[in-house]
Amino acid sequence: MSAGRGTVLVARLDNAGDVLLQGPLVRAVAASADRVVFLAGPAGADAAALLPGVDEVVSWACPWILGDPPPVDAADLAAFTARVRALAPDEAVVSTSFHQSPLPLALLLRAAGVPRISGTSVDYPGSLLDVRHRVGQDDEVDLPEPERALSLARAAGFDLPEGDDGRLAVRRPLPPPPHEPGYVVLHPGASVPARTWPAERCAEAVEALADAGHRVLVTGGPGERALTAAVAGSRGTDLGGATTLPEMAALLNGAAAVVVGNTGPAHLAAAVGTPVVSLFSPVVPAARWAPYGVPTVLLGDQDAPCRGTRARACPVPGHPCLSSVTAADVVAAVEKVRIEKGSV
């Protein structure tokens, strides 16, 4: 890294997938900073540690960003500002989704003595932001999230180094995968119920993929073991709760394709360059949140009545946007992305 910009704090306070999408922004900052400290929420800290260019990860449970937020506590806010003051960053880049505001965090960072703060804000920031980045309304709809974040870095005076293609990435080397590469990974869970393909359809897909000659590994978090066991059945390999995030990255790296909803492992797959069959509920726009920079087949009705609602639970009886997807659709999509990967 070239010297000149001191210690830069990069903040993204929500989930692991959101953090992984900040990879190009982080590398742009790292190209000019002496040190990059990533401020993450508890669910995103492990993902932040995987990003090239990050020197240190600081975790904080933010009461206005997290889906299951802690109460606002004056002592916690004071402790947080003290931690930031001890870090003494020379500047901060506050990355947010289009529906989040950087201003509450900017207020705390300013109180902690951060002299220069950049963020994307439609609201008047007063003295809270030194760089108020604004993304045009058309771009707000269509700009992929990594590009939106990178546009903030550029507004703050950072850019990718020469030769960096701006795709997602993770630190290498990864742990050795415990399975011979070439399998298909099916990840049935998601942090938001509205984004999950019905479990019975997932189980049908495992059977259909096995019938088509694929080895199928079923992944999930520690709280999803019952789900992954039911989905894997007798023909898939159940890995529910069995992998750390770096191990999951290695597992996805060895896959021929990943079948997954709009959730963190979709972006982790993209970050290791693996094609994705994306079971995408349109509660958020695919143009922003679909897997970035890898061969992808999008499955699901993108014009369903739930479109754009940001609903956590499906607002339409029967979950039609994803329940309309069949196991045969998934098998065909896996073949398509494998062919596309081979032609890249």
Kindly give the pairing relationship between strand 56-59 and strand 131-133.
Answer: unpaired
Per the listing, tokens 């904080």 go with 60
Whether 267 and 291 have beta carbons less than 8 Å apart is answered as yes
Angstrom distance (rounded) from CA 256 to CA 160: 29
Whether 20 and 271 have beta carbons less than 8 Å apart is answered as yes
Determine the straight-line distance between the first and last CA of the chain, rounded to whole angstroms.
30
Q: pTM higher than 0.85, yes or no?
A: yes
What is the residue-level pLDDT of the chain in tens, covering all 344 positions?
A: 345 789 999 999 999 999 999 999 999 999 999 999 999 999 999 999 999 999 999 999 999 998 889 999 999 999 999 999 999 999 999 999 988 999 999 999 999 999 999 999 999 999 999 999 998 654 445 789 999 999 999 999 999 999 999 999 999 999 998 899 999 999 999 888 888 999 999 999 999 999 999 999 999 999 999 999 999 999 999 999 999 999 999 999 999 999 999 999 999 999 999 999 999 998 899 999 999 999 999 999 888 888 888 888 888 888 888 989 999 999 999 999 987 766 55
Which residues partner with 184 through β-bridges? 216, 257
CB atoms within 10 A of CB 13: 24
Domain ranges of the chain: 7-155, 184-343
What CATH homologous superfamily does 184-343 map to? Glycogen Phosphorylase B; (3.40.50.2000)
Whether 118 and 93 have beta carbons less than 8 Å apart is answered as yes
CATH 3.40.50.2000 applies to domain 7-155 = yes
Radius of gyration of the chain measured on its C-alpha atoms: 20
Give the per-residue pLDDT at 17: 96
Give the per-residue pLDDT at 1: 37
Give the per-residue pLDDT at 313: 85
Closest by alpha carbon to 269, among 144, 170, 180, 339?
Answer: 170
Phi and psi at residue 54, to the nearest 5°:
-85, 125
Quick one: residue 31, left, alpha or beta (phi over 0 = left, psi -120 to 50 = alpha)?
alpha
Give the per-residue pLDDT at 166: 97
Angstrom distance (rounded) from CA 256 to CA 80: 43
Angstrom distance (rounded) from CA 315 to CA 129: 37
Give the per-residue pLDDT at 141: 52
For Cα atoms 257, 260, 265, give the angle at the middle one, nearest 5 degrees. Answer: 90
Per the listing, tokens 């080397």 go with 173
CB atoms within 10 A of CB 210: 16
Angstrom distance (rounded) from CA 192 to CA 323: 16
Give the per-residue pLDDT at 98: 85
Task: Say if 7-155 and 184-343 have the same CATH topology.
Answer: yes
Map the chain to HEC letters: CCCCCCEEEEEECCCHHHHHCCHHHHHHHHCCCCEEEEEECCCCHHHHHCCCCCCEEEECCCCCCCCCCCCCCHHHHHHHHHHHHHHCCCEEEECCCCCCCCHHHHHHHHHCCCCCEEEECCCCCCCCCCEEECCCHHHHHHCCHHHHHHHHHHHCCCCCCCCCCCCCCCCCCCCCCCCCCCCEEEECCCCCHHHCCCHHHHHHHHHHHHHCCCCEEEEECHHHHHHHHHHHCCCCEEEECCCCHHHHHHHHHCCCEEEEECCHHHHHHHHCCCCEEEECCCCCCHHHHCCCCCCEEEECCCCCCCCCCCCCCCCCCCCHHHHCCCHHHHHHHHHHHHHHHHHC
